Amino acid sequence: MLRFDRRLIYDFDWVMVLFLLLVSGMALVNLFSSTWNGGPDPSPIFFKQLYILLFGYVLILILVTFDYKELVPLGYILYGVVILLLIYTGLFVHTIAGTQRWINLGFFHLQPSEPAKLAVVLVLAAYYSNHGTEDGYRLRDIVQPGILTAVPFVLIMMQPDLGTALMLGILFVSMTLFVKLRWSTISILGTAGIGVAFIGWKFLLKDYQRRRIETFLNPEGDPMNHGYQIMQSKIAVGSGQVFGKGFLEGTQGHLHFLPERHTDFAFSVWAEEWGFVGSVFFLGCYFFLLLWGINIAMTARDKFGVLLAFGLVMLIFWQAVINLFMIMGFLPVVGIPLPLFSYGGSSLLTTLISIGILMNIRMRRYQIKT
């Protein structure tokens, strides 16, 4: 499995490495600031994220050594393991802040819903690459991938974790539309989606989840409670102005006005300290990395590679868009991190593994299909 073709060294994806180092470097600088306690030393959280990042780099080097097509069977194995972990989480993990999301491994707190996103991308790419159609998929053709997505979706909703569950739905829609649906199928699914959204709002969402959406529509209506996060985030972003207040000089974060400043609202800290110019530079690097991922999908040597690369880019892209829109008040707060930037070991490792697979696909684009 770990056979390595020396010719692949010449095709090593240095572009992806460069922008990965830029983005993760800025993330560490921001984490240092957002968790700074006024002393000369970084916080324990900073060191924990640094160690996980270095471990993720090692995983990338391992991931590029074997052909990505071997991920077809491994994807289903990972999917099965993730489902078992989600079931275990729901049955045996103690509730923290009203949710059951993390398994304590002693040295690491694993959040199974994070690798669940990667597992869904892998199994959907494997399914669609082996069940092709020229006329577009009918409704019955997408029942199996729908079930593959629905099982972890339901288990994650039961934790409850609305944001991550919605990400699975978004990934399913993105990859299914990418492989081409018949117009009749799109019409049926669109109508069903509207009905599910109505039923979900009335009967499935918990009270605090409905309040988040209502707060998004009118954050000023409850400024000292549920609208507090959004308003403080917007203040932090706006106060950065053109060049920012400077490293370690942000007031919203360091005076503790901004909640979750190293996780969900990490970019708010960056925008306050580095301003519009720094934000544009970061976003330029970040989204060029994603555009490079799209280029990898377009140049992949087979259908599985195309679908897998596209799904992995969508996995990072939609989380980034939702998080950025969330901190600017354009979307409700749903607890989705900014990949590579927000603090969180499970999210960081999942993203680095995704990038490692993208590099694997890029390095083998010239190989002859067998």
Choosing from 156, 183, 205, the residue where a domain stops is: 205
Q: What's the pLDDT tens digit per position in 244-299?
A: 898 888 878 776 677 778 888 899 999 999 999 999 999 999 999 999 999 999 99
Number of folded domains in the chain?
2
Residue 139: predicted pLDDT: 83
Provide the mean pLDDT of the chain: 85
The whole-angstrom separation of Cα 2 and Cα 12 is 16
Confidence category of residue 99, pLDDT binned at 50, 70, 90: low
Choosing from 158, 178, 205, the residue where a domain stops is: 205
Strand-pair partners of 132: none
Residue 217: predicted pLDDT: 57
Average pLDDT over residues 32-49: 87
Q: What's the pLDDT tens digit per position in 187-204?
A: 887 887 787 777 766 666
Regarding whether 87 and 62 lie in a shared domain, the answer is: no
Average pLDDT over residues 127-145: 85
Average pLDDT over residues 55-78: 93
**Domain, as residue range, for 115:** 67-205
Residue 204: predicted pLDDT: 64
Regarding whether 134 and 49 lie in a shared domain, the answer is: no
Domain annotation covers residue 47? yes
Q: What is the pTM of this model?
A: 0.89
pLDDT above 60 (res 221):
no
Domain annotation covers residue 214? no
Residue 370: predicted pLDDT: 47
CB contact set of 287 (below 8 Å; sequence gap of 6+): 320
CB 362 within 8 A of CB 11: yes
Helix (H) or strand (E) holding 78: helix 71-92
For the CA atoms of 348, 86, 194, 205, the dihedral, rounded to the nearest 10 degrees, stands at -100
Encoded tokens for 102: 């993390």
Regarding whether 298 and 200 lie in a shared domain, the answer is: no
Domain annotation covers residue 161? yes
Domain annotation covers residue 46? yes
Regarding whether 77 and 19 lie in a shared domain, the answer is: no
Domain annotation covers residue 180? yes
Regarding whether 164 and 37 lie in a shared domain, the answer is: no
Regarding whether 158 and 230 lie in a shared domain, the answer is: no
Regarding whether 352 and 325 lie in a shared domain, the answer is: yes
Choosing from 179, 205, 231, the residue where a domain stops is: 205
Residue 369: predicted pLDDT: 54
Regarding whether 278 and 296 lie in a shared domain, the answer is: yes
User: Which of 105-109, 210-214, 245-249 is modeled with the greatest confidence?
Assistant: 245-249
Domain annotation covers residue 210? no
Regarding whether 94 and 197 lie in a shared domain, the answer is: yes
Q: Is 244 left (phi over 0), alpha (psi -120 to 50) or beta?
A: left
Regarding whether 154 and 272 lie in a shared domain, the answer is: no
Greater confidence (84 vs 1) lies with 84
Domain annotation covers residue 212? no
Regarding whether 361 and 228 lie in a shared domain, the answer is: yes
Domain annotation covers residue 345? yes
Regarding whether 75 and 29 lie in a shared domain, the answer is: no
